[in-house]
Amino acid sequence: MRSKFMPIITILFIASLVFSACTSTPTAAPQESVATEAPIEAPAESEEPAVTEAPAEPEEATTEPVKLSLYSLAWIQDNQDMTVELINQFNEEHKGKIEIEYIQGDWGEVENYITSGVAGGGGIADIVEGDTGMGLGWYDQGFLVDLTPYITDEIRATMPEEYWASRTARDGKVFLSGTVTGSEIIVFYSPAALEKAGIEPSSPDNLWSWEQLVENAKLLTLDANGKHLGEDGFDSANVAQWGFMPRLDNEKIWEEGQIFVMQATGQPMIRKGDDGVWDIFFDEAGIPVLESYLNIVNVGITPDKAIGLTGDSQNEAFAQGQAAMILRGYFNISVLKGLYPVFEFAVMPIPMSSENKEYYVDNWGQGFSIPVTSEHPAEAAEFIFWVQEAIQNAKYASSISMAPVNPDALQDPVLLDDPNWDTMRFYRSIEKLLVVEYNTNQSEFVTSVYAPTLMAVVSGEKTLDQAMEEIKALSKDILNQ
């Protein structure tokens, strides 16, 4: 019996080998991989500008609207609602021509969504939301349409060149539109707690330095008897209110830490050196800032349970009065308002030097891309650049509480009348945008080396010097793969 089946099994195995060899495309001859060097050419249709395509289409074609779908990464209810509202408005304005359908996506799934969709040859949305880092990775792999042909001078003027730079691949092609920038972080504080401690919040005229933040946070760290950190009889085992509670985890130690360092150095941490080789740079001016930031648990103003804290838990602690100040992205204004409508909070700038009043921010941002599988890239482009116009951009930015890419949007009444946007306007007034070239191996480097090693500093297992040495030992190898 066994002898009868063996030939069949052998044939089936060989057939599957042949089958897989035919469909996957490994090449036997050693040759230089072009996948990361140059993006795969987008389909011919995407290379044609919208303006040249439009006249070729017969009038009758517009009677049946072009149907598109949009994969949204909105995770805040207001932002989801606003994206739907903008889509409805666009559909109304383009009735009979273009009709867009909203698909709720997820930040954790979008990578698999677009990868499997493009590999499978379709079945995914015509417009996919993403950010500059993700977008570059997708473009490098040939997943995205080149948007350059659809960008008129008028559209080009809606966004500063630095933001276009972060949305432009090494070959000069634009792969992502702009909605918001996201690196701006702020200190959320409880006005009641600061008032009780007699502390004036940081303001454009009286900016807190890191030392001031730590000293003020000590006054705000209270035990159950109302004594503050440093006061005689302070019970450190029974803290009722912590002075400062950022999220200390792999994600934030990188995202927020690099912003603090940039304030001091004016340079991105991961960049190419003079020799053109990628590396991480611990510039001298940034080390004291990094040290202050990583030392907050040891100083006693932050609980060690802030290590691994989720955003939800952090907000809950803040709303319940267990933390007087927290550190979050601007978007958290929307989150807090949604979760705790009656809770009173305010926002202030992050610590920075009063002498050198400059706010450095990288040009990271969000926007929309068009996968190469889209059959209607011109129509999709029409929508994504329509959202970039000041009025729409202001609505979108307001709903997600992140800075709009279009400078005119900040002067729109939607944002002008909201005092929470004053800090953002202040940031913008002193902002120095850093054009940061994105390294596609950054994710591996940050996730597996940079963040876990610095987290060991936070928990007191390593010194910053040890950590920097360990990180430098591996950085070049990973970042230059």
Distance of closest approach, residue 33 Cβ to other proteins, in angstroms: 5
CB of 429 to other proteins, least distance (A): 32
Q: Would you give the distance in Å from CA 275 to the centre of its chain? A: 29
Encoded tokens for 421: 């946007």
Nearer to other proteins, 208 or 450 (CB): 450
Q: Which is nearer to other proteins, 88 or 320 (CB)?
A: 320
Tokens representing residue 235 in the block: 């019970």
Tell me how far apart the alpha carbons of residues 182 and 403 are, in angstroms, rounded to a whole number: 7
CB of 302 to other proteins, least distance (A): 12
**84 vs 307, beta carbon nearer other proteins:** 307
Structure tokens at 105: 């996506």
Minimal distance, residue 97 CB to other proteins, in Å = 33
CB of 273 to other proteins, least distance (A): 19
Return the residue matching tokens 């070239």. Answer: 437
- Residue 336 or 433 with smaller CB distance to other proteins: 336
Nearer Cβ to other proteins (219/454): 454
* Cα–Cα distance for residue pair 158/320, rounded to 1 Å: 41
Residue type, 59: E
**Closest CB to other proteins among residues 62, 298:** 298
* Nearer to other proteins among residue 197 and residue 253 (C-beta): 253
Q: What's the min distance (Å) between Cβ of 291 and other proteins? A: 19
**Nearest-approach distance from CB 222 to other proteins, in angstroms:** 17
Site residues for other proteins per CB under 8 A:
8, 12-13, 15-17, 19-21, 23-36, 40, 108, 111-112, 115-116, 118-120, 137, 141-142, 237, 249-251, 254, 303-305, 307-310, 313, 316-317, 440-441, 443-449, 451-452, 455-456, 459, 461, 473-474, 477-478
> What whole-number distance in Å separates Cα of residue 72 and Cα of residue 355?
42
Closest CA to 261 of 363, 133, 360, 364: 360
Between 273 and 460, CB nearer to other proteins: 460
Q: Residue 259: what are its φ and ψ, rounded to 5°?
A: -65, -45
Give min distance, CB of 317 to other proteins, in A.
6
Residues in contact with 401: Cβ distance below 8 Å, sequence separation at least 6, in sequence order: 76, 330, 331, 332, 333, 334, 335, 420
Contacts 24+ apart (CB under 8 A), 157-165: 158/385, 158/388, 158/389, 158/390, 158/393, 158/405, 158/406, 158/408, 159/388, 159/405, 159/406, 160/405, 160/407, 160/433, 162/363, 162/433, 162/434, 162/435, 163/363, 163/365, 163/405, 163/433, 165/363, 165/435
